Amino acid sequence: MKFLVGQIPGGTAVFFVSGDSAINLTEQDSSLGPDLLGVMTSGKTLDELQDISTRGRSVPVASLKPALPIASPGMTICLGLNYVDHVKEGGYEIPKYPVFFMRTQRSLMPAGAPMMRPACSEQLDYEAELMVVIGKAGKHITPEEALNHVFGYTIFNDGSVRDFQRKSHQWTSGKNFDATGAIGPFVVSKDALPEGAAGLKIESRVGDEILQSATTSDMMWSVASTISAVSEFAALCPGDLIAMGTPPGVGHAKTPPRWLRDGETIEVEIEGIGICANPVVNEVKL
């Protein structure tokens, strides 16, 4: 199943997406709540959700303004340096353990919302990434059991301000500028994609300019092994998000560097999931 959390008068609702049409599931069953966390904790199966979707009136997907799939994720953890060629283009050594960093709530925004090019830097970069949506709690999860904890997958654009990222060995500042991490608009349940979302084409572009193009099979750490590694130090809960790293082709590695500019629209597409598109706008100092 494919889901979209969209804005409605007075709040948000969960929509089931089929082709170019969407049906408001929350309107049909209020227990599902305003975002996917309610769906995951409702106890309803995908078959039951499919049945609920048959009762509603469809609207065009294009008429919906996306909201974050999870309004307030308990944890948004990101994996860096997960594609060998991206590691090499950045001048890093191949890591022996996943490189993790965290994203704050205010750094995130939905697909379609403006991506903020900060006033203090010209070096806003793009990073196309697969994002895992956790649906089942757990800790000390084995790789063999890890995919049982996945609800589905979405798209992430890990907008990075490179000069700030490189000010220290910790990446926190460069990865957490306000409104630089785009998520969505669609979440696809794991049953509708290959196991572990492997082998999916992943691409970023501005207009006809292809910036990155790879496959999720190129990841060094799989979804299962990443979930297992995270769960060694942090309990995972429904609604937690894990971004799986970006392939080569990022802007800072190009000659000359290719930074995002005001007025452009950056798109990230993952096969079987959809397109996350965001206009780039200059921050206005208040």
Spatial CA neighbour of 112 closest among 157, 50, 177: 157
pTM above 0.85?
A: yes
- Structure-token match 């309004």, residue found: 71
Three-class DSSP category at 120 = coil
Q: What is the pLDDT of residue 286?
A: 76
**Predicted pLDDT of residue 54:** 93
Provide the pLDDT for residue 92: 86
Determine the Cα–Cα distance for residues 195 and 85; give it in Å rounded to an integer.
23
Q: What is the three-class DSSP state of 74?
A: coil
- Cβ proximity of 182 and 158 under 8 Å: no
Alpha helices in the chain (DSSP H): 25-28, 36-41, 46-53, 84-89, 143-146, 162-165, 223-233
Residue 166 has a pLDDT of 93
Q: What is the pLDDT of residue 264?
A: 98
Q: Which residues of 166-200 are buried (b: 16+ CB within 10 A; e: fewer)?
A: eeeeebeebbbbebbbbbbbbbbbbeebeebbbeb
Which residues have CB under 8 Å from 145's CB, separation 6+? 138
Ranges in the chain, pLDDT < 70 = none
Question: What pLDDT, on a 0 to 100 scale, did the predictor assign at position 91?
Answer: 86
Predicted pLDDT at 199: 98
Where are the alpha helices (H) located in 3-102, listed in sequence order?
25-28, 36-41, 46-53, 84-89
